[in-house]
Amino acid sequence: MSHEPDHAVNRLRRMRLARSTRPFLARGGSVKRCPGCLLVPELCACDLRPQLRSAATFCLVMFDSEPLKPSNTGRLIADVLPDSTHAFLWSRTEPDPALLALLDDPAYQPYLVFPDCEKAPERVVHQVSLPTGKRPLFILLDGTWREARRMANKSPYLDRFPVLAVKPEQLSTYGMRVAAHDEHLCTAEVAACVLESAGYPDEGVALQHWFNLFSCRYLAGKWHRAPDDAALCQALAAYGQPATYESQE
Ligand SMILES: [Zn+2]
């Protein structure tokens, strides 16, 4: 078992926990888990967590209890790109001032990552084209499919940004999916596809591998069986030990 890495999603989870008046009863929430990877302790994957630096930046806008769910995959993005991931709770009418400040930061070109835009189809783009000197800020709406749609349609402060609709089936990261568990990609898979399509393939592949390992071991823990993850472990071992971000303990 390992300590919880210090990054935006874990900080948000602690804040959300502190705000809860009663214990959060997520499915699988009563199981004992490693605080670092939220897998059952005997399947801890902390030693294999890849950590990269990237000019690509993510802004996770998370629906209410999403940061508390052990199965949340937005957290995996922050695991891999701790310096490039911001996370906020969603509010329709009272968005976090820090979120608004990030969206206004001239260092970034924000993109709302979503398959379409019902309100304004002219906002939809399929490629990232950055003005000189800007870094991409990919806004991901983290929740169930219904919650994400609600956030996309009811966040006026996001209405001015282009909507980036990636075509995942054309990308290698999409082909690396462990199982076609759902026609909709989960948040970490969307992020991996966005990274690849926007010209950050190394980060995209690392994230896809990390998601695959998490997913494989999460299910193995749930069904009390041994994970079939030798190839994934080998791929992830190539990134070296994630020592940098745990030295603050
Ligand atoms: Zn762990």
Nearest to 164 by CA among 132, 134, 130: 130
Q: Do 231 and 178 contact (CB within 8 A), yes or no?
A: no
Place of tokens 């709406």: 141
Q: Half-sphere exposure of 153 toward its Cβ, with a 13 Å CA cutoff?
A: 9
Classified as helix, coil or strand, 176 is coil
pLDDT score recorded for residue 247? 39
pLDDT band at 26; cut points 50, 70, 90 = low
Q: Read off the pLDDT of residues 50-78 as tens digits, 9 standing for 90 and up.
A: 999 999 999 999 999 899 998 999 999 99
Look at residue 207 and tell me whether its pLDDT is greater than 70. Answer: yes
pLDDT score recorded for residue 41? 95
Name, in order, each residue with C-beta under 8 angstroms of 10's C-beta and a sequence gap of 6 or more: 4, 75, 78
What's the gap in Å between 216 CA and the centre of ligand 1? 14
- Show the beta-strand stretches assigned E in the chain: 57-62, 85-89, 108-113, 124-125, 135-142, 163-164
- Which of 21-25, 117-121, 137-141, 171-175 comes out lowest in average pLDDT? 21-25
What's the gap in Å between 71 CA and the centre of ligand 1? 14
What's the gap in Å between 10 CA and the centre of ligand 1? 14
pLDDT score recorded for residue 167? 82
Structure tokens at 152: 């996309």
Structure tokens at 86: 């911001």
What's the gap in Å between 36 CA and the centre of ligand 1? 4
Look at residue 191 and tell me whether its pLDDT is greater than 90. Answer: yes
Q: What proportion of the chain, given as a percentage, has pLDDT over 70?
A: 91
Q: Do 180 and 172 contact (CB within 8 A), yes or no?
A: no
Q: Do 120 and 98 contact (CB within 8 A), yes or no?
A: no
pLDDT band at 179; cut points 50, 70, 90 = low
What's the gap in Å between 239 CA and the centre of ligand 1? 17
Q: Rounded CA gap, 31 and 39, in Å?
A: 9
What's the gap in Å between 47 CA and the centre of ligand 1? 7
Cα-Cα end-to-end distance for the chain: 14
More confident of the two residues 79 and 117: 79
Q: Do 161 and 117 contact (CB within 8 A), yes or no?
A: no
What's the gap in Å between 42 CA and the centre of ligand 1? 9
Look at residue 160 and tell me whether its pLDDT is greater than 80. Answer: yes
- Which of 17-26, 193-202, 231-240 comes out lowest in average pLDDT? 17-26
Name, in order, each residue with C-beta under 8 angstroms of 82's C-beta and a sequence gap of 6 or more: 5, 6, 7, 8, 51, 245
pLDDT score recorded for residue 30? 72
What's the gap in Å between 154 CA and the centre of ligand 1? 36
Name, in order, each residue with C-beta under 8 angstroms of 144's C-beta and a sequence gap of 6 or more: 63
pLDDT band at 180; cut points 50, 70, 90 = low
Look at residue 161 and tell me whether its pLDDT is greater than 80. Answer: yes
What's the gap in Å between 29 CA and the centre of ligand 1? 16
Q: What is the bridge-based pairing of β-strands 108-113 and 57-62?
A: unpaired
Mean pLDDT of 149-167: 93
Q: Do 184 and 144 contact (CB within 8 A), yes or no?
A: no
Place of tokens 């209890």: 65
pTM of the model: 0.91
Look over the chain and give the mean of its residue pLDDT values, rounded to a whole number: 89
Q: What proportion of the chain, given as a percentage, has pLDDT over 90?
A: 71
Look at residue 214 and tell me whether its pLDDT is greater than 70. Answer: yes
DSSP line for 203-215: HHHHHHHHHHHHH
